[in-house]
A and B are shown apart, each in its own frame.
Chain A
Amino acid sequence: MSALAAAPPLLTAIGHDAPRIDAVAKVTGEAQFAGDLRLHGMAYGRLLRSPYAHARIVDIDTSRAEALPGVIAVMTGRDLPAVDPYYGHALKDRPILAIDRVRFVGEPVVAVAAESPPIADEVITLIDVTYEELSTVVTIDAALAPDAPHLHDVVNLRSGLFHGLGDIHLEPGNVCYHHAFTRGDVAQAFAAADIVVEGEYDFPAVYQYSLEPHTTIAQWMGDDLTVWSSCQHPFLVRAELADLYALPVAAVRVVVPYLGGGFGSKSYTKMEPITSALARKTGRPVRIANSIDESMVTTRRHGMKAWLRTAATSDGRLLAREVRAWFDTGAYADNGPRVVATGADAAPGPYRWEAVQVDAWGVYTNTSPAGSYRAFGASHLQWCGELQVDEIARRCGLDALQIRERNLLHRGESVRPGGKPLDADLVGDIRKVAAGLDWETPKPAGIVGRGMSVGLLAAGAHPVSTAIVRMEADGGVTLLVSSTEVGQGARTVFAQIVAEELALPLEKVRVLGGDTRVTPYDRSTGASRSTTIAGLGVLRAAADVRSQLLAIGSRVFDLPEEALTVRAAAVWHEGEPIPYPDLIKAHFGMVGGELVGHGEVRPERGSGSYAEGPVFWEVCIGGAEVAVDAETGRVTVNKTVSVADVGKALNPRLVEAQEMGGAMQGIGNALHEEMLFDRTGTLLNATLFEYHVPAIADMPDTFVSNIVENADGPGPYGAKGVGEGALAGVAAAIATALADAGVQIDTLPATPERVWRALAAREAGVVNEGDTKR
């Protein structure tokens, strides 16, 4: 390995806009997604879901359903074929199917399997469930009221396999997680402050909307379970399924075809427990394919309410911040504790504080469960904190750039005690945002605002990934890596890394992903970790093959490895090459055999826990210029600016694509998207008719993308991940831009009604106290 370590990267494949290796399959319709697969004998599952947000199940009469020709099985929470009917990676609070009680509208109550989808549709209309309605808590306030009904016996909940948050001790009530920390003397800092800005904020639940709804196929052979599923983290799904059925992990195989988007909606375990249980019950392969309205109540982003105050000196030095935030995790915790912890950690913002105090709670309500959504944690509180920074700037006579230049952390400074120091140049990044916004030029006429925002997101999740590189006898390579190709282009970047390390053309590299029985362990696909962590595993696996090639070359040339180089698919001594196939033939004495390289990534120090991390800080930064129509309150986004602080862009075009997509989701989050639950806990905008996902007409006029390459990431060639920062950064920048335009918004999204009311309040000279708070 010494010769390898010394070899400087040639960067023939890295740093270029290599074409996506999956593009042709996707543009011809050949690419297969979970819903495109058919198994012999496959039955079609369908779920009867609860119409009540909170009710006791008195009786389930399935007799009419079971009599229908073509029905194979009808399964209730009372006859689940699992060893443990409860799951949840943070808290095991969720039954595979409702047991005796439903906790949200849309909770699966009965699962049926039928010979065809139409029969499955019909049979769920023939099931009679008698409910007894219970008192319902739909909002955070209702859930925290002293007399609120408790959704779970939280004191006796068991921890899930991957909560990773230390011991969870819960008091009776509806709080599923509490994360708090204090640094410095907050009371003293606020007492000494010249300026204190305080506010309350409401942040909506949103639907991730990946175009592909959750789809799962499960098949049992004896005690071996195979699941094809639209999931982001196949190894975590495997572990949870093995746990449910008390099986060795190797008995469970999770295969992930192409994913039609995820954005967190397919993180951890979703439809796999029900589908596998139904398959076990029927003895046949079963598919459950959600419709979009079912996926909307399968997972969502946490809504949040928060109180913040920020202290500063009159010359604009930020002193202290205090935060209390309540995250609505819905009826089951799902990823709630992690979202709460990440949100709390990001709440101070990347500034040099004397004192900080943060309290954040995850709260159960009788609404659909909330989990991960791209940039979770960062997007929740960044906009609130950044609004307060700008308000302080206005009171000090500074502009938004100046106050950030003075107060942003510098490289190497502590972000949080015990964690990784800052590994980015935030001041340089924010200046790029300002430049992209033409900060020094006058704003266009009308009600126009310019805003910027910056935050940090603890990225990388747990740093454990492995990869295998197989070099065949003809010198071609198959890479086995389990990071899910969710659209981000992970497989293309991995192929580039292999091509770089082995001096191969890109077309010589094939990438196989997402089959837990074939491709090696990868912790998860999320937290912007694929390039950085899985990519490092890929690099090491390729380097392993490279060192084997050099060792063989050394024997064939009869020269020390130091005298040899690798380029153009051959090992060279000065001007003399030996192509890889010849080396492999010399090694095995025949045309055949293969070289297998292994690469792994594991924590470099400590356990790799969240508290010791993160692997890197993802910079969540953005800028926006908005124009407001005074008559209608409608907001037009003239421009968005993103800065991808990525260390090294292995494929700049794909980096930019992540930024464009993230910025657009930021626009949707800031201006349009909000899941509205009525008093009964029913989702009112439960289809894409009522729930507006940004369309092409919602594009800003201009999108400015910057890529910053300081080679300061822990990944291959100094890379660090990308993908989440623009969402949080741009969404918050739209909020600060509105404030710059004189529109004080404390509730997102900034719908025309809210903006119009804020304008009217300004006209009337009254402080906006929020309008239609939920």
Chain B
Amino acid sequence: MPLETTDPAKMRLNATVNGRVVSLEIEPRAILLDVLRDDLQLTGTKRSCDTQVCGACTILLDGLPVSACCTLAYEIDGREVETIEGLAGPDGLHPIQQAFVDRVAIQCGFCTPGFVLTTKALLTENPCPTRSEIEDYLGGNLCRCTGYWNILEAVEDAAARVGPANGRSEAP
């Protein structure tokens, strides 16, 4: 394994990103968002507030939603990251994505990847969330276009699509 780095000021990072094993040399101070967007070309993860308020850069780290703008890249070493690019399969959109499309829960689209991934984490934890549980869970994602109505509908729709019927009700 080429674990050594060519640059002594850098460190080696091994992780699984969207099911693919990646091995990178990074600066210890590198921010995960920059590594995803610049090194791995995964630009679906968006930069907005830089302060973990808006949720636009949400990714799933071992299945849990995390703001990539406030995560050091080395923290993903040995762990699994899922970004928006990892969601759709060969058969098309993930049901959550399809729900966002069908419910017009998208306007400018800049917040959309973060909302979709947060929704995925929510439905994994809680396949049949109530409206107030959805509001709680999505409280860390901002959208300035939609007023949230269609997003709420999309999450409820997605829950109906991927919930218990999909055999994913084992989570607490």
- Tell me whether A20 and B108 are in contact in the complex, defined as CB-CB below 8 angstroms, given that A661-B146, A688-B51, A703-B149 are known contacts: no
Q: Which residue of B lies closest to A688 (CB)?
A: B53
Cβ-defined contact, B51 with A687, below 8 A: yes
Cβ-defined contact, A657 with B107, below 8 A: yes
Cβ-defined contact, B46 with A211, below 8 A: yes
Contacting residues of chain A (180-227) with chain B, CB-CB under 8 angstroms: 209-213
A26 to B144, CA, bound (A): 15
Instruction: Say yes or no for A33: interface residue by CB 8 A criterion.
Output: yes
Instruction: Say yes or no for A665: interface residue by CB 8 A criterion.
Output: yes
A688 to B55, CA, bound (A): 11
A486 to B138, CA, bound (A): 23
B residues near A258, Cβ cutoff 8 Å: 108-109
Cβ-defined contact, A261 with B93, below 8 A: no
**Among B34, B84, B85, B109, contact of A487 (Cβ-Cβ < 8 Å):** B109
A695 to B138, CA, bound (A): 9
Instruction: Say yes or no for B65: interface residue by CB 8 A criterion.
Output: no
A residues near B43, Cβ cutoff 8 Å: 29, 32, 35-36
Stretch at the interface among B73-81, B110-118, B122-130, B161-169: B110-118
**Among B27, B46, B49, contact of A260 (Cβ-Cβ < 8 Å):** B46
**Among A117, A260, A262, A664, contact of B147 (Cβ-Cβ < 8 Å):** A664
Cβ-defined contact, B147 with A703, below 8 A: yes
- Tell me whether A487 and B139 are in contact in the complex, defined as CB-CB below 8 angstroms, given that A20-B104, A35-B47, A212-B108 are known contacts: no
A557 to B144, CA, bound (A): 54
**Among A27, A662, A699, contact of B106 (Cβ-Cβ < 8 Å):** A27
Cβ-defined contact, B53 with A660, below 8 A: no
Cβ-defined contact, B106 with A20, below 8 A: yes
Cβ-defined contact, B100 with A27, below 8 A: yes
- Tell me whether A693 and B45 are in contact in the complex, defined as CB-CB below 8 angstroms, given that A27-B112, A29-B84, A660-B149 are known contacts: no
Instruction: Say yes or no for B50: interface residue by CB 8 A criterion.
Output: yes
Q: Which residue of A lies closest to B84 (CB)?
A: A29
Cβ-defined contact, B83 with A29, below 8 A: yes
Taking the closest CB of chain A, its distance from the CB of B34, in whole angstroms, is 7
Cβ-defined contact, A117 with B34, below 8 A: yes
Instruction: Say yes or no for B145: interface residue by CB 8 A criterion.
Output: yes
Q: Which residue of A lies closest to B149 (CB)?
A: A660
Q: Which residue of A lies closest to B101 (CB)?
A: A23
Instruction: Say yes or no for B64: interface residue by CB 8 A criterion.
Output: no
A324 to B101, CA, bound (A): 47
Cβ-defined contact, B142 with A693, below 8 A: yes
Cβ-defined contact, B138 with A689, below 8 A: no
Cβ-defined contact, A260 with B84, below 8 A: no
Cβ-defined contact, B146 with A260, below 8 A: no
Cβ-defined contact, B49 with A487, below 8 A: no
Taking the closest CB of chain A, its distance from the CB of B1, in whole angstroms, is 27
Cβ-defined contact, B83 with A657, below 8 A: no
B residues near A144, Cβ cutoff 8 Å: none
Max chain A Cβ within 10 angstroms of own Cβ: one of B87, B97, B106, B141: B106
Taking the closest CB of chain B, its distance from the CB of A62, in whole angstroms, is 25
Cβ-defined contact, B135 with A697, below 8 A: yes
Taking the closest CB of chain B, its distance from the CB of A313, in whole angstroms, is 40
Q: Which residue of A lies closest to B47 (CB)?
A: A35
Number of B positions contacting A (CB below 8 A): 52
Taking the closest CB of chain A, its distance from the CB of B26, in whole angstroms, is 12
Contacting residues of chain B (21-67) with chain A, CB-CB under 8 angstroms: 27, 29, 34, 37, 42-51, 53-54, 56
**Among B84, B88, B110, contact of A211 (Cβ-Cβ < 8 Å):** B110
**Among A28, A259, A489, A699, contact of B93 (Cβ-Cβ < 8 Å):** A28
A688 to B148, CA, bound (A): 18
Contacting residues of chain A (247-302) with chain B, CB-CB under 8 angstroms: 258-263, 289, 291-292
**Among B104, B111, B152, contact of A657 (Cβ-Cβ < 8 Å):** B104
B residues near A734, Cβ cutoff 8 Å: none
- Tell me whether A33 and B110 are in contact in the complex, defined as CB-CB below 8 angstroms, given that A212-B48, A292-B48, A292-B50 are known contacts: yes
Instruction: Say yes or no for A1: interface residue by CB 8 A criterion.
Output: no
A689 to B84, CA, bound (A): 25
- Tell me whether A687 and B106 are in contact in the complex, defined as CB-CB below 8 angstroms, given that A29-B84, A117-B34, A211-B54 are known contacts: no
A22 to B93, CA, bound (A): 14
Cβ-defined contact, A687 with B49, below 8 A: yes
Instruction: Say yes or no for A418: interface residue by CB 8 A criterion.
Output: no
Q: Which residue of A lies closest to B44 (CB)?
A: A29
Instruction: Say yes or no for B14: interface residue by CB 8 A criterion.
Output: no
Taking the closest CB of chain B, its distance from the CB of A140, in whole angstroms, is 27
Cβ-defined contact, B51 with A689, below 8 A: yes
Cβ-defined contact, B144 with A663, below 8 A: no
Cβ-defined contact, A661 with B144, below 8 A: yes
Cβ-defined contact, A31 with B109, below 8 A: yes
Taking the closest CB of chain A, its distance from the CB of B87, in whole angstroms, is 7
B residues near A689, Cβ cutoff 8 Å: 51, 53
A residues near B141, Cβ cutoff 8 Å: 696
Taking the closest CB of chain A, its distance from the CB of B33, in whole angstroms, is 11
- Tell me whether A210 and B34 are in contact in the complex, defined as CB-CB below 8 angstroms, given that A26-B109, A292-B48, A696-B138 are known contacts: no
What 0/1 readout, one digit per residue, does chain A (737-763) give for beta carbons within 8 Å of chain B? 000000000000000000000000000
**Among B29, B44, B51, contact of A28 (Cβ-Cβ < 8 Å):** B44
Taking the closest CB of chain B, its distance from the CB of A261, in whole angstroms, is 4
Instruction: Say yes or no for B16: interface residue by CB 8 A criterion.
Output: no
Cβ-defined contact, B106 with A660, below 8 A: no
What 0/1 readout, one digit per residue, does chain A (11-49) give for beta carbons within 8 Å of chain B? 000000101101111111111110110000000000000
Cβ-defined contact, A695 with B139, below 8 A: yes
Instruction: Say yes or no for A585: interface residue by CB 8 A criterion.
Output: no
Q: Which residue of B lies closest to A260 (CB)?
A: B110
A residues near B51, Cβ cutoff 8 Å: 292, 687-689
Instruction: Say yes or no for A653: interface residue by CB 8 A criterion.
Output: yes
Taking the closest CB of chain B, its distance from the CB of A467, in whole angstroms, is 22
A residues near B111, Cβ cutoff 8 Å: 211
Q: Which residue of B lies closest to A485 (CB)?
A: B108
Q: Which residue of A lies closest to B29 (CB)?
A: A118
A residues near B109, Cβ cutoff 8 Å: 22, 25-27, 31, 258, 260, 487
Taking the closest CB of chain B, its distance from the CB of A35, in whole angstroms, is 7
Cβ-defined contact, A292 with B145, below 8 A: no
Cβ-defined contact, A209 with B97, below 8 A: no
A residues near B54, Cβ cutoff 8 Å: 211, 688, 693
Q: Which residue of B lies closest to A488 (CB)?
A: B107
Cβ-defined contact, A699 with B147, below 8 A: yes
B residues near A259, Cβ cutoff 8 Å: 108
- Tell me whether A210 and B108 are in contact in the complex, defined as CB-CB below 8 angstroms, given that A24-B101, A695-B139 are known contacts: yes
- Tell me whether A29 and B108 are in contact in the complex, defined as CB-CB below 8 angstroms, given that A117-B34, A209-B144, A261-B145 are known contacts: no
Taking the closest CB of chain B, its distance from the CB of A229, in whole angstroms, is 15
A residues near B147, Cβ cutoff 8 Å: 660-665, 699, 703
Max chain A Cβ within 10 angstroms of own Cβ: one of B47, B54, B97, B146: B47
Taking the closest CB of chain B, its distance from the CB of A32, in whole angstroms, is 7
Cβ-defined contact, B107 with A653, below 8 A: no
A665 to B116, CA, bound (A): 22
B residues near A263, Cβ cutoff 8 Å: 144
A211 to B56, CA, bound (A): 8
Q: Which residue of B lies closest to A261 (CB)?
A: B108
A292 to B46, CA, bound (A): 12
A residues near B49, Cβ cutoff 8 Å: 292, 687-688
A686 to B49, CA, bound (A): 11
Cβ-defined contact, A699 with B148, below 8 A: yes
B residues near A210, Cβ cutoff 8 Å: 108, 110, 144
A residues near B113, Cβ cutoff 8 Å: 27, 29
Cross-chain pairs A/B with CB under 8 angstroms, 21 sampled: A27-B84, A27-B106, A28-B84, A31-B109, A35-B43, A117-B34, A118-B29, A212-B110, A213-B47, A260-B46, A260-B48, A260-B108, A292-B50, A487-B109, A487-B145, A489-B107, A653-B104, A661-B144, A693-B142, A696-B148, A699-B149
Q: Which 7 residue pairs are nearest across A and B when measured between Cβ atoms?
A: A29-B44, A487-B108, A26-B109, A260-B110, A664-B147, A487-B107, A660-B147
Known: A211-B142, A663-B147. 18 other contacts (CB 8 A): A22-B106, A23-B106, A29-B42, A36-B37, A211-B144, A212-B48, A213-B47, A292-B48, A660-B149, A661-B144, A689-B51, A693-B144, A696-B148, A697-B139, A699-B135, A699-B147, A699-B149, A699-B152
